Every structure is written in structure tokens, then in C-alpha cells.
Chain A
Amino acid sequence: QKEVEQNSGPLSVPEGAIASLNCTYSDRGSQSFFWYRQYSGKSPELIMFIYSNGDKEDGRFTAQLNKASQYVSLLIRDSQPSDSATYLCASNSGNTPLVFGKGTRLSVIA
């Protein structure tokens, strides 16, 4: 059973702080890793994708991948109240369907 594990939270951070969201995966064959953001009552939307070890940055978001430790993380710098949402980690390999974690709820306190 391929699994993606996330802490369900809630993770509360003050406005302007760095939010760190973590994810582990069980399938060593996983090649691609995704972070989706889901606002309450809305559908998930993709915000980051990473497939190589190391960091990938886009604006305030940085995705980090460590394949040896089977660990993926998402850092959000200068967190804003508008970042309050549930963040879903997902992985797959090749054409296999994405396997999602249960999500971490982030609350940014103004």
C-alpha cells in the first residue's frame, strides 16, 4: 500500500513567520511530488511540483525533497492570513495516479 503521511495539524503560525509543512512517503519508487492548496469548501489547486533532490523556489514558496529520507516539505515565507488553507502532499511515478496525504491545515494568525 503506497502511503503519503502528513501531520493533520492545525499548524498555527503568526503573520510574517515561516510555515513549514512536512510529508513522508512509503513508496521508494515515487518520482514526482506535488503540493496542493485547498481552501475550505473549494477544490485543490497545484502550487508546487518537485522531482529532484534539493530545493525548488517559487516566490514565497520553497519545496524541498530528500529521496534518501523519503521526505518532502513545503516552506511558506512571510506567511499571510490568505495562506490559511489545507495543504495536500501527493506523489506518483510515471503514469500512476497521484496518492494524496490527508492534508495539513495551516492557520496564519494576523
Chain B
Amino acid sequence: DAGITQSPRHKVTETGTPVTLRCHQTENHRYMYWYRQDPGHGLRLIHYSYGVKDTDKGEVSDGYSVSRSKTEDFLLTLESATSSQTSVYFCAIRSPGTGVVAGANVLTFGAGSRLTVL
């Protein structure tokens, strides 16, 4: 997916365990985002980063932390997973648009990580 990979793609874990999802880009873009997608809720922003060690919270940040120690990697950590965090997690990078979307800051999404917390 256009230089952005997420790992793991699928994970099943138990309540109370820590979980880390990784987003890796090869595009050298400054902005990276973590969203979660749930039926009936659409895409909701968890955290985002605007540079190495620069992060900010989104609308559903409780229970999640992030780290960005280098440009290419943005990690999402669930310190103690709960069943309410069962979701599909998407990472995205922001880049300048071209063609019909020239002038826009375009989000390109990774393939997603499906997390199930039992």
C-alpha cells in the first residue's frame, strides 16, 4: 500500500495484556496517524504525529499511547487491552496530492490491523 505497512495484520489477545501495533513508511513523510474503525462509528482518530517525538491526541485516545522515535515508524500501544478496543486499526501517512487531488494533503492508509481482545 504505497510505502506504508502495518504489523501485525491480525492479532488475538486477552484482556489485560499489552499490545503494540507498528506502522512503517518508506516515504519519509512528516505526518502519520492512527485511526480505529468500528461498525456504526466510522473512522475515529486515536493519535497522530507531526514529526519525530511530536505527537498529539485524537478524539478516542484514552487507553492508547504512541511513540515516534524515527520518521519511518509510528507505534500504537494498548497498555492493558480491553474488549472495547477490539477493532480494525488503520495507520495513515499524509502527502501532497497530485492530479485530480493536487493541492490537497492526501491521507494514504495502510492495509489495517484487525485486533480482537477476548
Q: Does A71 contact B (CB under 8 A)?
A: no
Chain B nearest Cβ from A42, distance in angstroms: 8
Interface string of B22-43 (1 = CB under 8 A from A): 0000000001010100001111
B41 lies within 8 A of A43 (CB): no
CB neighbours (8 Å) of A100 from chain B are 35, 42-44
Interface size bracket, A side: 20 to 34
Q: Does B62 contact A (CB under 8 A)?
A: no
Query: For the complex, what is the distance from the CA of A78 to the CA of B58, rounded to whole Å?
Result: 38
Q: Which residue of chain A is the closest to B111 with respect to CB atoms?
A: A43
Chain B nearest Cβ from A24, distance in angstroms: 14
CB neighbours (8 Å) of B58 from chain A are 97
Known A-B contacts A97-B58, A102-B41; the reply to A44 vs B50 at CB < 8 A is no
Describe A's contact surface by its main secondary structure.
Answer: strand
CB neighbours (8 Å) of A101 from chain B are 42
B112 lies within 8 A of A102 (CB): no
B100 lies within 8 A of A49 (CB): yes
Known A-B contacts A32-B104, A58-B100; the reply to A103 vs B42 at CB < 8 A is yes
Query: For the complex, what is the distance from the CA of A42 to the CA of B111, rounded to whole Å?
Result: 7
A43 lies within 8 A of B43 (CB): no
Q: Does A13 contact B (CB under 8 A)?
A: no
Query: For the complex, what is the distance from the CA of A58 to the CA of B105, rounded to whole Å?
Result: 18
CB neighbours (8 Å) of A90 from chain B are 43
A44 lies within 8 A of B101 (CB): no
Residues in B lying within 8 Å of A, measured CB to CB: 1, 31, 33, 35, 40-45, 48, 50, 58, 90, 97, 100-101, 103-112
12 A-B interface contacts by CB (under 8 A): A32-B105, A43-B1, A44-B43, A44-B109, A46-B101, A46-B106, A56-B100, A58-B100, A90-B43, A95-B50, A100-B43, A102-B41
